[in-house]
Amino acid sequence: MTHYNWLEAINITEEMVMKTETNRRLPVIWISALDCTGCKEAFTRSFEPTMLDTILNFISLEYSELLSLASGEQIEAHKESIFAEYKGEYILAIEGSIPRRDDFLLIAGKSVREEIRRASRNAKAVIAIGSCSAWGGIPAAGINPTDSVDIKTMIPEDVPLVLVPGCPPIPEAIIGTFLHVHFHGVLPELDKKNRPKIYYQKTVHMTCHRKPFFDQKLFAESYDDEGAKKGYCLFKLGCKGPSAFNACESIGYDRCIAAGFPCIGCSEKGFWDKGGFVARRKK
Ligand code: SF4
C-alpha cells in the first residue's frame, strides 16, 4: 500500500495538471543497451500516476525497441524524425549498461554506443534508468566481458544527466523524474551523484517501517524465527537499508523489506560486485 502523492512529490497542483493536459507532451526516446527489460517493466507498473495516464497525457514515448508498436525501418525512421523535429527538446532515456565492444550489441545494425552519443548531443537531458545505466550494473561487474560502462562515461560532459538507479528503479521515481521535466521544464534538484533528491535523499533505513524495532535492538535472526514472524528488523540478516539511498520505504511500497527480505542495496554503485541479490547474514 503506497501513501505516495505524485503531485506533492514533484510540487505541482491539480490545476497545473488540468492546464498541461492540453499542452504538448514531452517527447521521450528510450534506448535500451545491455538490459534485462526490467526497468521498462517497472515503468509499466507505476500506480502514481499510472503509465497509461503518463503516456496519454504527459509524455510522448516516441521510441522504444520494446514498447513501440512499430519496429524495424519504420521505427528507426520515426526516431530520426524526432531527432530533427525536437532538437534540444526531447528526453533521452537510457536503460542498460553500454558495451564498448560492438560485437555484443548493435541497434538497427549500428553501434549502440555511437547511437547513444549521437542522440545525447541534442537531447534536453539524459535520464539513466536503472542501476546498469547509472553505474554499469551487472554487465560491467566482475570480469566485464563486454567492456561495459555507465552512461556518464559514454556521453559528453556538458549534457544534463539524471541517474534513477535501482534494480529495477521504483516505477514512481522513473515517471516522477519525467513529469518534473514536463511540468517545470527543468530537471529536479539533484544530489552530488546526479540523483533526484526527491527520491534519493534518504536511506531506506531512515524511513523503514521496521526502524522502531531496530531502535529497540529487536532483530530477526533467521527468516523463520519468532522475530521474523513479528516483523522485527532485518539488519542481522544482511539488510543494506542503512547505506542504500532509495525511496522504497518512503513511498510506502510493499517491496523487499515488507516481504521479509533484507534490502540488498540495488540502487547503490557496485551492487552486483558486492553480492547482488544475495543478502549476507551478519556474524
Ligand atoms: Fe534498517 Fe533494514 Fe532494519 Fe529496515 S530492516 S530498520 S532498513 S536495518
Of the candidates 134, 114, 276, 117, the one whose C-alpha atom is nearest the C-alpha of residue 199 is 134
Distance from C-alpha of 257 to C-alpha of 248, rounded to nearest angstrom: 9
CA of 199 to the centre of ligand 1 (A): 18
Residue with cell 525501418: 73
Q: Is residue 283 pLDDT above 70, yes or no?
A: no
Distance from C-alpha of 71 to C-alpha of 49, rounded to nearest angstrom: 27
Cβ–ligand 1 contact at 233 (below 6 Å)? yes
Distance from C-alpha of 166 to C-alpha of 248, rounded to nearest angstrom: 10
Q: How far is CA 244 from CA 26, 32, 103, 204, in A?
A: 31, 25, 34, 6
Say which amino acid occupies 56: L
End-to-end Cα, the chain, rounded Å = 33
| Closest ligand 1 atom to Cα of 241 | 7
| Closest ligand 1 atom to Cα of 233 | 3
Identify the band that residue 21 occupies on the pLDDT scale cut at 50, 70 and 90: low
CA of 244 to the centre of ligand 1 (A): 10
Per-residue pLDDT tens over the stretch 32-68: 999 999 999 999 999 999 999 999 999 999 999 999 9
Per-residue pLDDT tens over the stretch 113-141: 999 999 999 999 999 999 999 999 999 99
| DSSP 3-state percent helix, strand, coil across the chain (nearest 5) | 35, 15, 50
Got the DSSP string for 187-243? PPPB-TTS-BHHHHSSBTGGG-TTHHHHHTT-B-SSTTSHHHHTT-B-GGGT--GGG
Per-residue pLDDT tens over the stretch 173-203: 999 999 999 999 999 999 999 999 999 999 9
pTM score, two decimals?
0.95
Which residues touch 54 (CB under 8 Å, ≥6 apart)? 46, 175, 178, 179
CA of 97 to the centre of ligand 1 (A): 29
For ligand 1, atom 6, the nearest C-alpha belongs to 211
Task: Copy the grid coordinates of residue 30.
Answer: 528510450
| Closest ligand 1 atom to Cα of 213 | 6
Identify the band that residue 281 occupies on the pLDDT scale cut at 50, 70 and 90: confident
Cβ–ligand 1 contact at 210 (below 6 Å)? yes
Looking at every residue in the chain, the average pLDDT score rounds to 94
CA of 271 to the centre of ligand 1 (A): 17
Per-residue pLDDT tens over the stretch 147-158: 999 999 999 999
Which residues touch 238 (CB under 8 Å, ≥6 apart)? 262, 279, 280, 281, 282
Cβ–ligand 1 contact at 211 (below 6 Å)? yes
Distance from C-alpha of 152 to C-alpha of 150, rounded to nearest angstrom: 6
Q: Is there a contact between 196 and 176 (Cβ–Cβ < 8 Å)?
A: yes
